[in-house]
Structure 1
């Protein structure tokens, strides 16, 4: 216990971070180790290219979007606290956790997870997922799955992608404005296990 607390001394605002994110002291220490490994220049902050060393992201087709989610618009670096707060979205939801109604939802709540996922699509931050934004994500996802060696008649065509995007918009767009709002996005994913979909094994 003593060695754990002494190790926590070099983590700024450790207690506040644990309370805010739900990570345990052991988790926070492990994340700090991962952060220091990524922070090769020992600056105490990460830049987008530093995330290239994360094997869990290397094969993710939308890794650039996930990495971008760690950074606010115009922000070029992220410190440890921001790093941990973003990763908290990928923690399993605390289904038995009770909270004061005055407190905001924790980052790992289903609502916050969905908002985080929504922002990965809504790149222009206008509160809607447009057809173009949906198509862009589909292209990125398929671009990683189809290598040059796999370019056969089985490859998904642009026309098929357009059809997939069209169907997704039609199914989710309840107010018929040709885009998907957050509420429509949330409703369309009601039966999806968001905890399972949003997981990054940073703690391994």
Structure 2
């Protein structure tokens, strides 16, 4: 699995399945590997932040990671699998909103999310008012 141009072995597939708690079927892992190889433009077996950002939907999620190998890539995506438990999905969503990684979703974290969602369409003051839960 080190070289992105190499083929996955049955052992690799089973190892990845175990790593992500069997959230994906073997065929889904093969498909994910093909997508991983497309993103790994320099064929180094590792997706850089720049390569990961080439998928616009992952821009917000990138804050949670600093580069991924294939097993980490699949584990990261496992929260999106229909086989993932509700707890796994909730834990993942929490991590998305906990932008500073302190184990809490704070007012500042919510402002970060609102900045990402609204861009320049609303002012900082409007964002602060929207995030204020009192």
Identify the TM-score tier after normalising by the shorter chain.
Answer: 0.7 to 0.9
Rg bigger for which structure?
A: 1
Question: Are residues 160 and 38 of structure 1, via their aligned partners in 2, closer, same or farther at CA, if it must alter by over 3 Å?
Answer: same
Q: TM-score, normalised by structure 1?
A: 0.55
Residues 88-145 of structure 1 show CA distances to partners (whole Å, capped at 9, x for unaligned) of 01112x4xxxxxxxxxxxxx211121111111221222221111111111011101xx
Give 1 or 2: higher helix fraction.
2
Please give the alpha-carbon distance, in whole angstroms, between the structure 2 residues aligned to 1:156 and 1:77: 32
Q: How does 1:110-129 map to 2 (within 5 A)?
A: 110-129=86-105
Please give the alpha-carbon distance, in whole angstroms, between the structure 1 residues aligned to 2:23 and 2:15: 10
Determine the structure 2 residue equivalent to 1:193: none
Q: Is the 8 A contact 1:48 1:68 kept in 2?
A: no
Q: CA RMSD in A?
A: 2.1
Question: Are residues 65 and 52 of structure 1, via their aligned partners in 2, closer, same or farther at CA, if it must alter by over 3 Å?
Answer: closer
Question: Are residues 52 and 123 of structure 1, via their aligned partners in 2, closer, same or farther at CA, if it must alter by over 3 Å?
Answer: closer
Say how many residue pairs are matched: 126
Q: TM-score, normalised by structure 2?
A: 0.80
Q: How big is the shift at 1:8? A: 4.1
| Unaligned ranges ≥5, structure 2 | 1-6
Determine the structure 2 residue equivalent to 1:181: none
Note if 1:86 corresponds to 2:76: yes
